[in-house]
Amino acid sequence: MDLEQWFSFLVEHLNLLGELSKKYGSLEPMPRDSDFMDLNGVIHPLNSKWKTENCEECTCDQGGIYCCNTAAVPVDYDTNKCQIIFNKETCTYTVVEQEDPGKTCAVSGWVL
């Protein structure tokens, strides 16, 4: 399998994992027909969508509130030489050298 085939395979499976996590992500079961209160005490109307301060995308329906992470997390990089930095405002990770945080590191894999 060449690199292009491997990348295509990886993207397909990451998309599948994303769909599964949307379906089976975190759940706050509260069957009802009205507004919902999330774990932070915020009220959300039935069938609404929102993004949390922790970069989760949430929806609610009659079955409850469902939240899934939206930030791709770096998983394949030089952990001895590099560190990850999370930007809460943009919901993104950056991988930089530990010795020189001004230099970015190569990342070969990301997961949601």
Mean pLDDT of the chain: 82
CATH number at residue 81: 2.20.25.590
Q: How many domains does the chain have?
A: 2
Q: What is the pLDDT of residues 21-76, one digit of tens each?
A: 555 555 555 455 678 888 889 999 999 999 998 899 999 998 889 999 999 999 99
What pLDDT sits at residue 34?
A: 76
82 and 55 together in one domain:
no
Residues 57, 13: Cα–Cα separation, whole Å = 20
Lowest mean pLDDT among 11-15, 31-35, 97-101: 11-15
Distance, CA of 88 to chain centre: 12
Higher pLDDT, 85 or 9: 85
Domain that holds residue 28: 3-69
